[in-house]
Structure 1
Amino acid sequence: MTDFIADIKIPDSKLAAEAAELVREHADDLLWNHSNRVFLFAAMKGSLNQMKYDSELLYISSLFHDIGLTPAFRSADKRFEVDGANAARDFLKSRGVPEDSVRLVWDAVALHTTVGIVEYKETEAALMNFGVAYDVVGKNFDLIPAEMRQQVVGAFPRSRFKQQILQTFLEGFKHKPETTYGTINADICELLLPGYVRPNFCHHVLHSKWDE
């Protein structure tokens, strides 16, 4: 049976099902529920604005967007967003997905925290960024009707998401805080990582090896 939540169809193709199985294996309940809410809120935005998008690619992007935080996919030296994008790319390539679609998903995952840029990428990337911002910080909260929000949260509970998500983020990159330089993730390190000092771009400019 096909699942519909708040009038949004959960993609049920073989590719989508395999993506969901892989992500569910490695993501805890917090990240699994969050990733599904991201897809649903993103798809709602697309429907409300009558936007054309590939639901399957949006779903897979949403599922993989935080997988780089998990032990199985986190690297020693890359941004967690890139780890997730690489995982999505490897998954899609292994199943013969066309390169244009692979590139779109890679961009959507890699750029999902890059505010001010991702909004202008392909529709799927922009929609997923909307879903992430909606679920994490409540951006444009009133755009989606309360009844639809409740259906999403009923299917994929938040379970004290606000109280848990920052620590979950930190666990994904506390071993490589340098990768958060210039991103919103540096805020998390500054708040929660003992001894962390946020790098300053102005300091790098003024103390570079140039002699003037």
Structure 2
Amino acid sequence: MTKLIADIKIPDSKLAVEAAELVREHADDLLWNHSNRVYLFAAMRGNMNQMKYDAELLYISSLFHDIGLTPAFRSKDKRFEVDGANAARDFLKSRGIPEDSIRLVWDAVALHTTIGIVEYKETEVALMNFGVGYDVVGKNFDLISAEARQIVVQAFPRSQFKHNILHAFLEGFKHKPETTYGTINADICEMLLPGYKRPNFCHHVLHSKWDE
């Protein structure tokens, strides 16, 4: 039976179901619910604007976008966004998905925190970024009705999300804070990681090895 939440269909193809099973195995309730809300809010935005998008790829991108924070997929030296993008790429490659689709999903996951650029990418990439921004910081909050928000949150509860997600982020990269340089994630390290001092780009420029 097709599952509808706030008039949005949850993709139920074999590929989508396998992606959901993989992510559910490794993501806790906080990340699982967040990732599903991201998809629903992204799809709502796409439908509102009568945008053509691949719901299956948008769903898979949303599911994988934070998987790089989990122990099974976090690397020692890459941004968590890249870890998640690589995990999505490996999953899709193993299922024989075309390279163009894989590249789209990789970009959506890898760029989802790259504010000022990602919103100008392909439709699915930009929509997923909308969903992330909507769920994490309430960006463009009034674009979606209170009724629709309530339906989504009933299906995938927030459970004090905004008080817990920062610690979930930190857990994913506290062992490699250098990977947050130049990103919004450096804010998390600065706030929650004892002894962390944010690198300064101006310092790097002025103290480079150039003799001048």
Q: Which of structure 1's runs of 4+ aligned residues deviate more than 2 A?
A: none
Using the TM superposition, give the Cα deviation of residue 14 of structure 1 relative to its aligned residue in structure 2, in angstroms: 0.1
Residue equivalent to 1:76: 76
Return the alpha-carbon distance in structure 1 between the equivalents of residues 40 and 78 of structure 2.
28
| Aligned equivalent of 2:160 | 160
Measured in 2, the distance between the counterparts of 1:107 and 1:48 equals 23
- Structure 2 match to 1:46: 46
1:132 paired to 2:132: yes
State the one-letter code of the partner of 2:29. D
Alignment of 1:1-212 (within 5 A): 1-212=1-212
Q: CA deviation at 1:133?
A: 0.2
Cα distance between partner residues in 2 of 1:182 and 1:75: 19
Q: How far did residue 114 of structure 1 move?
A: 0.1
CA shift at 1:107, angstroms?
Answer: 0.2
State the shift of 1:134 in Å: 0.1
Distance 1:75 1:142 in 2: 37
Q: SS state of the match for residue 97, structure 2?
A: coil
User: Structure 1: where are the runs of 5+ without partners?
Assistant: none
| Unaligned runs of at least 5 residues, structure 2 | none
1:31 is aligned with what amino acid?
Answer: L
Taking the aligned partners of 2:12 and 2:66, their CA distance within structure 1 comes to 21
Aligned residues: 212
Q: Report deviation, 1:57.
A: 0.1
**Equivalent residue of 1:189, what SS?**
helix
> Cα offset for 1:98?
0.2
Note the C-alpha offset of 1:101.
0.0
How far apart are the structure 2 equivalents of 1:146 and 1:118?
26
Tell me how far 1:139 sits from its aligned partner: 0.2
1:15, distance to aligned residue in structure 2 (A)? 0.0
TM-score for the superposition, normalised by structure 1: 1.00
* Whole-angstrom distance in 2 between the partners of 1:184 and 1:172: 14
- Provide the aligned C-alpha RMSD in A: 0.2
Q: Which amino acid aligns with 2:87?
A: A
State the shift of 1:144 in Å: 0.2
